[in-house]
Amino acid sequence: MKEMLMNELKEAMRNKEELRKNTIILLRAAILQIEKDEQKVLNDVEMKIVASKEVKKRREAIIEFEKVERLDLVESLNKEIEVLSKYLPEQLNEDQVKELVKESIKLTGAISPRDMGKVMQDLRAKTSGKADGKLVSDIVKELLM
């Protein structure tokens, strides 16, 4: 994936695509920072998780910018998300998440909302980077009610 990012960066620079170039640079910087902090080389799956965290940051920022009516920034962040989406792991849809939640509820023996922590812990590895945490949490709450 690092090689692909580098090739994409070169292409964006050649084509003078500033937004794409800057977004790829930010993603590469996030990956390199984690590698430096953890003193290890990230594999492709871990790099995709970094990309999904970058998308999540932008989605959260969009919500805030919409509140203060900064539509120019919202538009820019949406374009960055579009660039980053190429590097995300395949996302689970709501039905797939529901099936995983049902499996985890059976596996952990959860019966009430108090057991939500056990279910979420079991789901973390299965959904990390593949599904929005809020969606997973909402489905777990819904099914444990």
| Same structural domain, 61 and 101 | no
Task: Choose one of 51, 72, 87: the last residue of a domain.
Answer: 87
The shares of helix, strand and coil residues in the chain, as percent rounded to the nearest 5, are: 80, 0, 20
Residues 59 and 30 in one domain: yes
Parent domain of 26: 2-87
Considering the domain architecture, whether residues 77 and 100 belong to the same structural domain is answered as: no
Is 65 in contact with 73 (CB distance < 8 Å)?
Answer: yes
Average pLDDT, the chain: 91
What digits encode the pLDDT tens for the residues 59-118? 999 999 999 999 999 999 999 999 998 898 788 888 999 999 999 999 999 888 888 889
> Quick check: 96 and 60 in contact, CB under 8 A?
no
CATH classification of the domain holding 74: 1.10.1510.10
Are 78 and 19 members of one domain?
Answer: yes
47 and 7 both lie in a single domain: yes
Report residue 129 CA to chain centroid gap: 5
Q: Say whether both 117 and 99 belong to one domain.
A: yes
Q: Which residues contact 88 (CB under 8 A, 6 or more apart)?
A: 48, 51, 52, 55, 129
> Domain ends where: 64, 87, 110?
87
Please give the Cα distance from 34 to 40 (Å, whole number): 8
